[in-house]
Amino acid sequence: MIKTLPLLFIVCLIIGCGGYKMQDLQIALEAGETEKAYTNLQKNAPKKPDIPFLFELGLVAHYANHFQESNTAFDQAGDIAEDRYTKSVSKEAASLVTSDQMRPYSGTRYERLLSHYYRAINYVYLNQLEGALVECRRATALINYFKGENEKYNFFGAGFLAHLSGILFEATGEWNDAYISYKQAAEYYRNAAEKTGVEMPEDIGRSLVRLARKLGFLDELERYEEEYGKFSRHPENTGELILFYESGYVPPKGEDALTFPILKTDDVDDEKFAPTLMGRQGRVYKDIELEYLLRVAIPTIDSYRPLFSGVEVAVGAVKTSGVLVEDVENTAIETFNAQRTSILLRTLLRAVGKYLLYREANKQHEALGILANLAGAVTEQADTRSWQTLPNQIFMVRMPLPVGTHTLDLSFLGENGQVRGRDSVPDIKIYPNRITFWNHRTYE
C-alpha cells in the first residue's frame, strides 16, 4: 500500500495540468468570434488530444466554417472512442486508487451520436452529400451496436439521428433508405420520449405518408394516413428549407462533496463494506461511535436552461415555428442519473482503499499517515469530463419556399412564447425540388 503513495502524487500533477479555459472559449463564441475561439483551442491543444478536447475542437471548427478540419477532429474522437471499448486495464486499475479522471473517457452514447450530426452537416456545407450519407449510415450502425450491446438501450439521441438520416436520404433521392430511416425515427423517439420529454415530431408522420405514396406502399399509406392524416404535395417550382436551431449550452458537470461515516465496529476489509456505506449518506452518528469521516467527490449535473427556448422563421409573409427535435439537457441529466449509483459505488470503493492506505501508513508513522491522507484528498476529484459546447436544445424548421434567394428572419422565443430576440440570415438559396440545409446557434 505504501508504494502507492508516489502514484497518488503523480496523479496530483496530471490532474492539475491545464490547457484551454472553457470560460474564454464561451466568451469568444458568444461574441461571434468563432475564429478566435478556434485559434485559442489550436494554441492550447494538448500534446496527445483526448476525446473531450476533440469534441470541442470539432464543434468550434464547425462554427468557424472550417468544415473539413471539424470532421477531422470528430473522426479522431470517434476512432479513440471505438478503440476504448476495449478498455485499458492499467488505467482502469490506476483509477481504483486515484481518481475517475484516470479512466479512459469514451464519450457518452448521445455525444457520439451528435458528433455524426455535425459531421453530416459539415459534408452538406462542403457540397459532399455522399459524405453526409456515409455519416448517416455510420450513425445507424452505431445505434444498432448500442441496441445489440444493451437490451435496455435508452435510444437517447437515436431518434434525432434517424430523423436527420431520413431527411438527408430524401434530399439525395434515396427514397427507400429515407422511408426506413423515418420509420426508425418514429420508433426511437417513442422509446425515449418518457425520459427525454421529446415527442415524435409531426414531420416524421408527414414524411412517412409522403414516401409511402411515392413508393407505392398502398397498405402502409392507408395506415399512415389514418394515423397521421392526409397531406398535399408541395406546389411546383418550390424547394424546402431545413433549419436546425441550436440554443444555449448543455449543462456542465459540477462536483458534489459527500461524507460517509466509518464506525469503530466496521469491518472495513469486507468486500461488501462500500455498498454498506452507500446507505449511510446523510445519517448522523454519535462521536463515540465514529472511527473516521470518509469524504468523497462525485459529479453532479443541474438544469441550465437558456433564455431562448424556441424559434419562429419568417420569409416574407410565410412563417413557421420550430419543433423540438433533441433535448440535449434532458438527455445529459437522464444519462448521468442512470450512472450515478455505479459512479458512487466505484468512488466509495476507491475511498475505502485510500482510507486503508492512510490507516496502514499511520501505523508506521504519524507523519506518513498525514501524507497519505493528504494525497488521497488531493486526488479525490470528481470526473466532470463532458462535451461542454453542445447546445442545450435543438429545434427544427421545415418549410417549403419559392425558388430563389431569401432572407430568413428569425425570432427567438422564451418559455412563454414571447419574442426575446431576433436575427436575420441573408442569401439563403432555394432550388426547385431540392432541400437547403442551415443550422443556427445562439448561446443566451
Residue 373 binned pLDDT confidence (cut-offs 50, 70, 90): low
Residues 132, 137, 141: CA angle, nearest 5 degrees: 145
Ranges of CATH 1.25.40.10 domains, the chain: 2-200+234-252+302-336+384-442
Residue 380 binned pLDDT confidence (cut-offs 50, 70, 90): confident
Mean pLDDT computed over every residue of the chain: 89
pLDDT at residue number 13: 46
Residue 170's Cβ-side half-sphere holds a number of Cα atoms within 13 Å equal to 29
Closest CA to 201 of 235, 167, 248, 174: 167
What predicted TM-score, i.e. pTM, was given to this entire model? 0.90
DSSP class of 417:
S
CA pair distance 69, 201, nearest whole angstrom? 32
Whether 295 and 259 have beta carbons less than 8 Å apart is answered as yes
| C-beta contacts of 145-154 below 8 A and 24+ residues apart | 146/109, 154/191, 154/192, 154/195, 154/334, 154/335, 154/338
Closest CA to 330 of 197, 199, 201, 441: 197
Task: Break the chain down into helix, strand, coil percent, rounded to 5.
Answer: 55, 20, 25
Helices (H), ranges, 197-324:
202-215, 218-228, 273-278
Q: Tell me the three cell numbers of residue 217.
A: 406502399
The pLDDT tens digits of the residues spanning 223-272 come to: 999 999 988 777 777 999 999 999 999 999 999 989 889 898 988 887 78
Question: Yes or no: is domain 2-200+234-252+302-336+384-442 CATH 1.25.40.10?
Answer: yes
Closest CA to 136 of 111, 154, 113: 113
Is the predicted pLDDT of residue 19 greater than 80, yes or no? no
Cα–Cα distance list, 321 to 65, 245, 303, 396, 410 (Å): 26, 11, 24, 8, 10
